[in-house]
Structure 1
Amino acid sequence: MKTVPQSDEQLRQEVSARYARTALQVLGSPSEQDTSCCGPSCCGPAEVAESQPAPVSQASSCCASSCCSSDVSQGDPITSDLYTQMELGEIPVAAALASLGCGNPTALAELSPGEKVLDLGSGGGIDVLLSARRVGPTGFAYGLDMTDPMLELAERNRQEAGIENVQFLKGIIEAIPLPENSVDVVISNCVINLSANKGQVLREAYRVLTPGGRFAVSDIVVQGELPSVLRRDMESWAGCVAGALEEETYRSLLREAGFVDIEIEVTRRYSLDDIASSGANSSVATLSPQERASVDGRFISAFVRARKPEKQG
């Protein structure tokens, strides 16, 4: 268990390093911590092997090899089985291998031809590429990520897919490098909860949306308070657990940013065992019986919807 860094920048660096390792594995470049096929940075909790539905596990990668086959088949309870067979058939295998999300925001967003879409924390590009196909040649999809290996992987996936109406941007989700009123839909897949300043992320999403624009993200949400040991655990934070907002806090921050028509829909509910296997094993082991009971079933994947009003002010 590592303690969550105290500054926003330190936390950002830690999260970026974890996701860079995932991208490098998919790109075929060994990272400094890759010591063997079944080491902790390959086929470990919330890493590449467990982020893929069954058909993708047949792809050529470290985590698809026989020594990790049991891990692949089980799948991470948070990051697995999020996309349909048809959707996976539309994109390069590498985009799915690098997916560490907790939902399918492209299905949630109900995209229409001609719309402009922004994916916050776009990773290997799976949701950007799916969005680009849905909005068609008259629409456009942006992907924003802070991790260079992920941006490299996403661009490679874009080229392989032959999709032109896409641009991947480097930056942080707390300071989106787009002008105000520039996109119709903001999506995100289990990334906002990794930010140390979620209120700023939501204000930025509001800023870049056009009047009447839609906020449609998948995220991890907690119903109730978390034991402090989970909040302090870097491993569980980077695994999408410790950084989860409490449901009412999420609603409040959306309202403060200016959003209306706020909805939070539960899509999955996780047991304590699910949480432990998704990157919080060490901190879960320290919980008292009372704390374990308080956490069990309180973590959820959720569709979070909201809208920017048509008239401002």
Structure 2
Amino acid sequence: MNTVPQSDEQLRQEVSARYARTALQVLGTTETNTASCCGPSCCGPSEKAETPPPTEASSCCASTCCSSDVSQGNPITSHLYTQMELGEIPVAAALASLGCGNPTALAELIPGEKVLDLGSGGGIDVLLSAKRVGLTGFAYGLDMTDAMLALAERNRKEAGIENVQFLKGIIEAIPLPANSVDVVISNCVINLSADKGQVLREAYRVLTPGGRFAVSDIVVQGELPPILRRDMESWAGCVAGALEEETYRALLQKAGFVEIEIEITRRYSLDDIASSGASASVTALSPEERTSVDGRFISAFVRARKPETLR
């Protein structure tokens, strides 16, 4: 079992390397994975009956659930987007999605808004956001991993979307000026940071007054056994770095946010946590620890707002 590095920079490098492997895997497999879907349940919530099925050229259904092992079977990263949403984007954007929710739905984006996605990966949420804000709006994606940025840019070109820019950088130091975006979204990335308070302060800084913070993230209700916190596989699987719910609220408030809400969208069993990459540390838990952890991990929509009048 690999342990979490003590240095923030070492942790960042380890996480980046793991996500780079996902991007490189997708870059090497997507060109042949564009045919035949295995059914609506593999892609996410089914659409209404009158919704036409995706075409072979646009559907990522087959690649997501049949042809790729990137996120197949992972209880945290699977079944997050509708067939309609997946049909709007290139296959590779869905294949590289390692999120735990659908922040583009949460954010209730409107035409003309500027959006920033923290930890944008293969670009799925950026591309969906760009479509929602329209040509009068704009979507930024921020990622620290070169391979993910290359994949995202390729996906942008394939989708023919122009109102998008992918930026290289870290979410603890966003390379945008203050008061520059209307909405900050993120999909199961803030939990990967070693300095979550700094991430939230940066999100607050770049938001315009009245701007919205709308992220999907893994949250834990209660304390975690130390062995889970130390496990690098558990951290990369979005478990070990998860904030306790009340700590998340407190950090948002300290950063200056108001109207803070945390809405549970999924609750995970211990078996789910083991399947997400924490099997070694879960096996090492005592019976008492297993009982204390079971059902305590949740996917959540985390909402907050930057005040209209700054303090």
Q: Give yes or no for TM over 0.5.
A: yes
Aligned to 2:170: 172
Aligned to 1:42: none
When residues 298 and 168 of structure 1 are mapped into structure 2, their CA distance, relative to the original with a 3 A threshold, is same
Aligned to 1:96: 94
Aligned to 1:16: 16
When residues 255 and 181 of structure 1 are mapped into structure 2, their CA distance, relative to the original with a 3 A threshold, is same
- Please list, as runs of the form range in 1=range in 2, the aligned pairs for 1:1-313 lying within 5 A after superposition: 1-28=1-28, 53=43, 56=60, 58-59=62-63, 64=67, 72=72, 75-313=73-311
The aligned amino acid for 1:283 is S
When residues 287 and 253 of structure 1 are mapped into structure 2, their CA distance, relative to the original with a 3 A threshold, is same
**Which secondary structure state, in structure 2, belongs to the residue aligned with residue 99 of structure 1?**
coil
What is the root-mean-square deviation of aligned Cα atoms in Å? Answer: 1.7
Query: C-alpha offsets along residues 140-173 of structure 1, whole Å, 9 cap, x if unaligned?
Result: 0000000000000000000000000000000000
Deviation at 1:76, TM superposition (A): 1.0
Identity of aligned residues (%): 85
**Which secondary structure state, in structure 1, belongs to the residue aligned with residue 301 of structure 2?**
strand
Deviation at 1:58, TM superposition (A): 2.2
Aligned to 2:51: none
Aligned to 2:48: none
Partners of 1:108 and 1:59 lie apart in 2 by 25
The aligned amino acid for 1:53 is C
Contact 2:219–2:245, Cα closer than 8 Å, also in 1:
yes
Contact 1:57–1:64, Cα closer than 8 Å, also in 2:
no
Contact 2:64–2:95, Cα closer than 8 Å, also in 1:
no
The aligned amino acid for 1:295 is V
Question: Structure 1 runs of 4+ off > 2 angstroms?
Answer: 52-61
Deviation at 1:53, TM superposition (A): 2.9
Deviation at 1:57, TM superposition (A): 5.3
Q: Report the TM-score, using the length of structure 1 for normalisation.
A: 0.88
- Provide structure 1 residue ranges, at least 5 long, that are not aligned to the other structure: 30-51
Contact 2:61–2:86, Cα closer than 8 Å, also in 1:
no
Partners of 2:187 and 2:63 lie apart in 1 by 23
Deviation at 1:59, TM superposition (A): 3.1
The aligned amino acid for 1:293 is T
**Which secondary structure state, in structure 2, belongs to the residue aligned with residue 2 of structure 1?**
coil
Contact 2:43–2:64, Cα closer than 8 Å, also in 1:
no
Q: Report the TM-score, using the length of structure 2 for normalisation.
A: 0.89
Partners of 1:238 and 1:15 lie apart in 2 by 6
Partners of 1:121 and 1:59 lie apart in 2 by 22
Contact 2:80–2:102, Cα closer than 8 Å, also in 1:
yes
**Which secondary structure state, in structure 2, belongs to the residue aligned with residue 59 of structure 1?**
helix
**Which secondary structure state, in structure 1, belongs to the residue aligned with residue 60 of structure 2?**
helix
